[in-house]
Structure 1
Amino acid sequence: MNSRRTLLIELDRVASLRRDGPALRLALRGRSEQWFPLRRLSRILCSGDPAPHFATLLWCSGQGIPVSFLAASGRLVAQLLHPGGQPSPLHHWLEAKDCDPDLQQAWQDWHDNLQAHWYAELGLPNSAPALRQRRLSVLTGQLASRLGLRKRLHEHRPALHTLARSATEDALLARRLSLFSQPVHQVVDALEQPLVNLAQLKLLEYWKEHDATGSPAANLVHAWRTWGMDLRIERALRLLERQLEHIALFQDCPLEAHQP
């Protein structure tokens, strides 16, 4: 099991951020210092002004830890990557799928099975996608109405879409995939709505337990991390890569005809 995790840093709250051997030492204002070994980090996600701590973040990138920067809205702005990394094989399989029927079918199977699994987590049976989405909308609306949060959820829905796309783009960039590639955009599009579906219900539960303070974007990013949404994206991408690779490498090859 992969024990590496994302480190989220609100830079505007940082009192000190410095390297300490093979680790980071981070202290937020009013809190004690924390120590984060780089070997336990998959990436670093930052919000706020990076200028005072850019040298330390650049060092982290040089150690092979991708560092991503979010705007106040939660939109992914930029990412620092070590130049020595190699693109994930997923890039090749995605580029090839539109001209290979077997890869197209593997892509569609991944998309359908992923959605069915995530909808099942929400208690929705396997049925036509449009019907499942309508049922989910009704379920979410009823829960929001009971909690008196229907308007608030509506106001935060665009931010959830932004966060879903940014989190997926961040995971793809960490694999050295280009966001200018149309097949890569298809992955972002495929994951966006299922992620938002899950996040809406998670957000309603979160609001029941927490009185949000500070900027809404920062609260959403923190909540997103506690819900394990980044791990869901990672698992979905690993599964997609394995399925496409399996089909590509084990396709039946036609035998050459031989003259008698």
Structure 2
Amino acid sequence: MALALLQLEVVRGPSKLAGIGNALEILPTADTGREGVYPGQAIIVTTAARRLIEMSKASEKLEAIAVTGTIDPLAHRDFREITENLKELGKKWYPKVPLCLVASMLNLQNSDARHACATYERMLVRIDAGTQKVFSQLHGSKAKALKDCIEQLAAVEHPRLVVQACLSQGDIDNVTDAEQRAWLAILARVRPAQVQLAVPAKGTKGRKAPAKSKLDEIAAKVTEKTGAPIQWIGEL
């Protein structure tokens, strides 16, 4: 992939991210056109630095620097070094703006990656499923075991962990009584500092928002089970 195009894939925005606000997105595992091959650390950090400098000099407002991606950002072999560099860039150009990690699910087996997570002011993880069946529907049949993901996440004990969940009915139904019991047990185990709830965007194939009464019931159970504050963030 040409360098100019790769730079566009690595740094995006700023744009509005649900639950975060106006964020500059950094994608360490952006698509390079080759499976399992990710942009080099130098390209990621240099491109991010250039954009942050441009924005700062133009007095553009920013609410977060978000490390994210459709592929787990922690899959990048230089994730820790990238994180440390982005933290320093943020301190210099946007000292009041938090560095956030946003992911659907994290692979926290690598000790360096786990250590790097502590650098982030907020760690937002999408946990939509309580059972392996729904987890596989959401993440594909090749997804690792939900049990392993949760065990790793619980071990990190991030003090500013935010769990995001998109509640839906239809082809993927994660609001059944059985699914909710399992999901609430997961929340109790990972002990989030906040839970952000959403519904599918209108027109999402095979998924629709549950009735408001059902959503209110779930929100009340989350508060009862975890004690964590809830934020409704619209659509995901």
Q: Which has the higher strand share?
A: 2
Taking structure 1 as the reference length, the TM-score comes to: 0.26
Q: Which has the higher helix share?
A: 1
If asked which structure has higher relative contact order (CA below 8 Å, sep 6+), I would say 1
Larger Rg: 1
Taking structure 2 as the reference length, the TM-score comes to: 0.28
